[in-house]
Amino acid sequence: MKIIKVGASVTQSNDRDAALLREELRAKGQLMVNLMSSPGSGKTTLLSRLIRDMKDVKIAVMEADIESAVDAERIEALGAQAIQVHTDGMCHMDAGMTRASLEALEDDGAQLIFLENVGNLICPAEYDTGAGLNMMILSVPEGDDKPLKYPLMFEKSDALVITKTDALPYFRFDTALCTARAEKLNPGISVFPVSAKTGEGMTALEEWLRGKLTAWQAGTQKEA
Amino acid sequence: MHEMGIVLHLAKTLDETAEQNKLTKIGRVTLQVGEVSGIMTDLFTDAWDYFKKKHPMLEECVLELETIPGVTWCDNCKKTYETVKYGKTCPHCGSGETWLLQGNECIIKEIEAE
């Protein structure tokens, strides 16, 4: 027996797969957005709104869930390409699973591909999926203290979308405090308070996404 | 489930190392796990023992875990402290302007193989 010094992170192979996938997508002009949140934060409702509002951009959605196809059916009903990915109990998506999902999507030229990660604020933040952008959702009913409880998720995200702002009158949720807590963890994070139901705040988020897509296609988007 | 995912990634990295070094059998792997990495070492060992039986190259592989202590840096008073004991707030000055220096790693330190 001989001893071999490895000195590599356990996730090294995943990081490499993710970097490769990211470059392949960039070469095709496709921006993949890794969407992370708790269950019930309104991911599918937000995506439905984005698809309806952003008719100028071709959008596809990969819905990762442990079971069922209810989310993908909702997206397809809006006319966007969607697939349901079953993770068979796994709590997050990694680069290999994402690649397999993209192959199953049988891409027909989508510019913006949303990967709806498993509803969970912990493990999805630890695995690079190969996405060009990481976006997280925090809904008003979940509370403004989540940046304190799940710091890694906020550190890894390029954008924080605060959903269900139409419910603000009914909850003690301080948007400014939540934003300050998120910015303390991640000074570069962009924060968008929105209501996918009323449409409030959606324009700013959509403009941000369009800007990121243009920059990505121009090759100037920094590595996620 | 999280621990099983890490085991799968570990096995993949070991497969690649074996291929590069033309190894057929790995007898021991030493893993350095950060105190605040979120990895439950008991669960991780169970997941490993379950997995290795299905992987001929790793069948007899012993998993050794070394702990990397969590250390946080306080940007206000420029001192370090134990992360597990004090969390995000500096025990020296009470500041919240603190950053984790080490303790969230999961590194394959070395393997013993033939």
Its ipTM equals 0.79
Q: What is the pLDDT of residues B41-94, one digit of tens each?
A: 888 999 999 999 988 999 999 999 999 999 999 999 999 999 999 988 899 999
pLDDT category of residue A170 using cuts at 50, 70 and 90: very high
In a domain, B76, yes or no: no
Whether the Cβ atoms of residue A185 and residue A164 lie closer than 8 Å to each other: no
Residue A69 reports pLDDT greater than 50: yes
Look at A6 and B108 and tell me if their CB atoms are within 8 Å: yes
Whether the Cβ atoms of residue A116 and residue A61 lie closer than 8 Å to each other: yes
CA of A98 vs chain B CAs: smallest distance (Å)? 14
Q: Rounded to whole angstroms, how far apart are CA atoms B100 and B86?
A: 12
Output A92 or B35, whichever has higher pLDDT: B35
| Average of per-residue pLDDT across B100-108 | 91
User: What are chain A's domains?
Assistant: 16-204 (3.40.50.300)
| Average of per-residue pLDDT across A180-206 | 96
Mean pLDDT across chain B, nearest whole number?
A: 91
Residue A18 reports pLDDT greater than 60: yes
Quick check: A11 contacting B, CB < 8 Å?
A: yes
Tell me which chain A residues have a C-beta less than 8 angstroms from the C-beta of B27. Answer: 1
pLDDT of residue A224: 44
CA of A122 vs chain B CAs: smallest distance (Å)? 9
Domain of B48, CATH number, reads 3.30.2320.80
What token pair was written down for A189? 């994070």
Residue A213 reports pLDDT greater than 90: yes
| Average of per-residue pLDDT across A148-174 | 94
Tell me which chain B residues have a C-beta less than 8 angstroms from the C-beta of A10. Answer: 6, 9-10, 13, 31, 106-108
Q: Rounded to whole angstroms, how far apart are CA atoms A115 and A93?
A: 9
Mean pLDDT across chain A, nearest whole number?
A: 90
> What percentage of chain B has pLDDT greater than the value 70?
99
Whether the Cβ atoms of residue B33 and residue A122 lie closer than 8 Å to each other: no
Q: Rounded to whole angstroms, how far apart are CA atoms A17 and A95?
A: 6
CA distances from A94 to A30, A83, A139, A223 (A): 18, 17, 24, 17
Closest B-chain CA to A66: B1
How many structural domains is chain B composed of?
Answer: 1
In a domain, B96, yes or no: no
CA of B81 vs chain A CAs: smallest distance (Å)? 19
Output A187 or A126, whichever has higher pLDDT: A187
CA of B71 vs chain A CAs: smallest distance (Å)? 16
Q: Rounded to whole angstroms, how far apart are CA atoms B52 and B12?
A: 12
In a domain, B94, yes or no: no
CA distances from A64 to A89, A97, B91 (A): 11, 10, 42
In a domain, B85, yes or no: no
In a domain, B97, yes or no: no
Q: Which of A90-94, A193-197, B39-43, B86-90 has the lowest mean pLDDT?
A: A90-94
In a domain, B89, yes or no: no
Quick check: A1 contacting B, CB < 8 Å?
A: yes
Q: Which alpha helices (H) appear in A63-221, and where do they start and end?
A: 70-76, 95-105, 146-149, 151-156, 175-185, 202-217
Residue A102 reports pLDDT greater than 70: yes
Whether the Cβ atoms of residue B7 and residue B48 lie closer than 8 Å to each other: yes
Residue A66 reports pLDDT greater than 80: no
Residue A209 reports pLDDT greater than 80: yes
pLDDT of residue A220: 55
| Average of per-residue pLDDT across A79-94 | 83
A8-22, A66-80, A155-169, range with greatest mean pLDDT? A155-169
What distance, in Å, lies between the first and last C-alpha atoms of chain A? 40
In a domain, B83, yes or no: no
In a domain, B23, yes or no: yes
Quick check: A186 contacting B, CB < 8 Å?
A: no
Q: Rounded to whole angstroms, how far apart are CA atoms A208 and A189?
A: 12
Tell me which chain B residues have a C-beta less than 8 angstroms from the C-beta of A2. Answer: 112-114
pLDDT of residue B84: 92
Domain with B27 in it: 2-69+102-113
Q: Rounded to whole angstroms, how far apart are CA atoms B38 and B103?
A: 10
